[in-house]
Structure 1
Amino acid sequence: MEQQNQQKIGNPQTPVPTTTNMNDRDFVTDLLSTEKYMTSGYNTALNEFSHESLYQDIQRIALETQKTQRHLYDVMFRYGWYSVEAAEEQKLQQAHQKFQQTLTDQSPYGPSQMS
């Protein structure tokens, strides 16, 4: 089995009480999960609206929800409650090439329009 040497990107974790009561990290985690769920729901709803005024209202709400979600992620990252793994450059390049190829393959305008 290939051993991966993934580097975690994050900050030192801010300690929280280890009791059965919810702590700050638990509350922010719950809020972040809720915001992620809401942004997903708003995005799905935006695909279904035909009424332009309603679409614009929900679009504004969805954008605010996405901003809130990002702010909560930033808070969790700052306090060390959320970390990510560094990706290898080669894997990033491969993912980018695969994405570009998928866009080209699925474009109704043909490859010449994707550049």
Structure 2
Amino acid sequence: MNQQKVQNPEKQVAKTPQMNDRDFINDLLATEKYMTASYSTALNEASNEVLYQDLLSIFTETQNMQRELYDLMFREGWYKLESADQQKLQQSFQQFKGYESQFPNGNGGLQ
């Protein structure tokens, strides 16, 4: 199985005890991911519509910032992905396609 890496050339940073650009951005990315998960929980539990809309606005800004930080890390070569194996994708698709019949009306319960 030949897993191909999807990445940009890695921008080199100094390897010292002090935090470098990669460390700072990685820390920011982790924080944004944590915040979006927390805002998602708050959105699920907000009973007041005005509060819900405020949280939704903040969540959207936070999610967009998370994506920008991810994109930056990917551009700098600090975030690497593996290309998906086409056979595994097809197997997963067939597996989840089979679950569809378990839902009412065969369409996830939607009318």
Cα-Cα RMSD: 1.7
Gaps of 5+ in 1: none
Give the counterpart letter for 2:35 in structure 1. M
Query: How many positions carry a matched residue from both structures?
Result: 109
Q: Corresponding residue for 1:49?
A: 46
- Aligned partners of 1:60 and 1:100: how far apart in 2? 34
Give the corresponding residue for 2:68: 71
The within-5 A match list for 1:1-80 is 4-80=1-77
Residue identity matched to 1:70: R
Q: Which runs of 5+ in 2 are unaligned?
A: none
**Per-residue Cα deviation, 1:36-89 (whole angstroms, up to 9, x for no partner):** 000000111111111111011101110111100000000000000001010011
State the TM-score, normalizing by the size of structure 1: 0.85
Q: Residues 73 and 97 of structure 1: is their aligned pair in 2 closer, same or farther, counting only changes over 3 Å? A: same
TM-score (norm 2): 0.88
